[in-house]
Amino acid sequence: MSREVKGMTGDEAVAWAAKLVNPDVVAAYPITPQTIIVERYSDFVNNGEVDTSFIPVESEHSAMSACVGASLTGARVFTASASAGLALMYEILYVASGMRCPIVLAIANRAFSAPINIHGECTDQVVCRDTSWVSLFGESAQEAYDETILSFKIAEHPDVMLPAMFGIEGFIVTHALERVETLSKQQVEDFLPEYRSTKYRFNPDEKMTFGSLVLQDYYMEIKRQQEEAMQRAYTVTKDVMAEFSEMSGRKMEIIEEYQLEDADYAFVSYGATAGNAKAVVDRLRNKGEKVGALKIRLYRPFPSLDVQEALSGVKAASILDRSATFGSPGTIMQTDIATALYGKENVPTLHGYINGLGGRVLTLPEIEDIYEKTKDYHDVGMTMTTDWIGYRT
C-alpha cells in the first residue's frame, strides 16, 4: 500500500481529514486551540475544494443548534470546539443525542475557566460522559486524522445513530507539527459512502414532527433506546476500527496495550499522555522493571471488559488523568476503571494521579516518580489512592 506522508499539526490533520469526508454542513465558532480547524476548513470552502455549507455561527450554542437542524434533515454534519465552547454547547449535546443526530464533533481539549487558560486538559470532554455521545481520545495528529474519518462511520451506523466526539489535547497535539500518513479521496469515499437517508428526516416531503414534548409516559423508553444504541456502539466501534485498520494499514483499536503481557505494573492513560507513558515504560523496561501501558481510546461507551482483560494479572495501575475533579472518590478515569473492575478476580490496585492541568507538562521523571509511588502504595496494601501531581504547595 502506497502511503503518502505529510507534516501536519493536530488541528490541520482534523481539517484535512474532514475535507476528505466533505460533510454537507460545518457549523462552527472559533475558540483557541480549535481555531485552525475552522480556519483551514473555511479555506477549503472559499476555494471551492469542498461542497460543504459552512455556517459561521455567532456562538457554540448556535453551532450545535445548527448542527442539529442540519443533521435532522439527513445531512452529514461536522463541527469542532473546546472548553468554554463545549460547555456552551452542553444543553444541545443532549438534544443531538436525544434526537439521534450522528453529528461529529472534534474537540481541542482545553482547560475550563476560571482562571482562564487556553492550554491542554481533558476535563471539557470527560464531563460530557453522560450526554450519550460516543467519545474517543486521540494521542497524536495521526489519530486525530484517523478518528475524524472513522467517527462518522461509527455515528452514522444504523445500529448507533448517535453523535460522536473525539478529543486531542490543546497545543500539545493541536499545534504540534507531526508526521501524518494521509488517505486518498477514493479510500475515504469507499470507507464512508455518500449515502444520506431521508427517511424519518426533516424534509419538505415528510409531514413529520420532530422534537415533541415527551412526558412521563414515554420519556424513559426513549432514553433507554439511547442506552441500547450506546451499548451497540461498543461493537460497532470495534468493527469500524478493524475495517479502518485494514483500509489504512494502521492498527486502530478501542484500547491500546503496550508491553502489558507480563507486566506487574501498568500506566493507564488517554490522549497525549499515552505517548509519555510508553516512553517511561521503555526506560523502566531497560532497568528490568516489568511494566506496561494501557491507552484508552474509546471513553464512551466505556470498554469495561477490554480494560478488565488488559489489566488482569497486573498488581497495581497508575492512572494518569489530565482532568480535574473535586471532592470525588477518585480521578474521573479512575472511578470508571474501579467500577469496571469491582468484584473481579486478578485486578490491580488503582492509583489515580491528577496531573497536567491547564497545560502543565507532566515530565518523564515525574511519571517515573509516579511509578515508584504506586509501588509503595501497593506494597503497604493500599488498594485505591488518588494524588495530585506536579503542583507547587
Partner 1 sequence: MTIQLPKVSVKDLQEWSKLGEVLTSGHRLCAGCGAGIMARQVTLAAKALGDPFMLVNATGCLEVATTIYPYTAWDAPWLHNAFENAPATASGAIEAMKAMQRKGLMREREVHMIVFGGDGSSFDIGLQSLSGAVERGHDFLYICYDNGAYMNTGIQRSGGTPQGAATTTSPPGSVIPGKIRWQKPLAAILAAHDIPTFTASPAYPRDLMAKVQAGLKHDGSAFLLVDSPCNLGQRYSPDQSIEVAKLAVKTCFFPLYSTYKDEWILSGVSLRLAKNPEKKLPVEDFLKVQGRFRHLFKPEWKKKLVEIQEAVDERWERLLKKTEF
Residue ranges in contact with partner 1 by CB under 8 A: 24-25, 27, 51-53, 55-59, 61-63, 65-75, 77, 91-92, 95, 194, 196, 198, 202-215, 218
Cβ-based nearer residue to partner 1, 65 or 325 = 65
Least distance from partner 1 to the Cβ atom of residue 108, Å:
22
Question: What are 205's three cell numbers?
Answer: 416531503
d(CA 152, CA 290): 38
Cβ proximity to partner 1: between 14 and 25 the closer is: 25
Q: How far is the CB of 284 from partner 1 (least distance, A)?
A: 50
- How far, in Å, are 14, 15, 141, 344 from residue 311 at the CA level? 31, 35, 27, 11
Q: How far is the CB of 219 from partner 1 (least distance, A)?
A: 8
Least distance to partner 1 from the beta carbon of 203, Å? 6
CB-wise, 28 or 277, nearer to partner 1? 28
Nearest residue (CB) to partner 1, 64 versus 160: 64
Cell of 43: 479555506
The DSSP code sequence of 122-140 is SHHHHTTTTSS-EEEE-SS
DSSP code, position 358: G
Q: How far is the CB of 213 from partner 1 (least distance, A)?
A: 5
Beta strands in 297-370 (DSSP E): 298-300, 316-321, 349-354
4 or 58: whose CB is closer to partner 1? 58
- CB closer to partner 1 out of 97 and 318: 97
Report the C-alpha dihedral over residues 173, 179, 183, 185, rounded to 10 degrees.
80
CA 316/CA 351 separation, integer angstroms: 7
> Residue written as cell 455518500?
194
113 φ, ψ (degrees, to nearest 5): -75, 160
Could you tell me if residue 381 is left (phi over 0), alpha (psi between -120 and 50 degrees) or otherwise beta?
left
Contact 165, 34 (CB under 8 A): no
Strand ranges of the sheet holding 53-55, from the earlier edge strand across to the other edge: 53-55, 25-27, 77-81, 104-109, 164-169, 134-137, 298-300
Q: Where are the alpha helices (DSSP H) in 249-362?
A: 273-286, 304-311, 332-341
Nearer to partner 1, 199 or 287 (CB): 199
Q: For residues 51 and 345, which CB has a smaller minimum distance to partner 1 in the complex?
A: 51
Establish whether the linkage from the previous residue to 33 is cis, with ω within 30° of 0: yes
Residue closer to partner 1, measured from CB, 122 or 188: 188
Least Cβ distance, residue 204 to partner 1 (angstroms): 4
Q: How many CB atoms lie within 10 A of CB 113?
A: 11
- Nearest distance in Å: CB 21, partner 1: 13
CB of 202 to partner 1, least distance (A): 5
| Residues pairing with 362 in the sheet | none
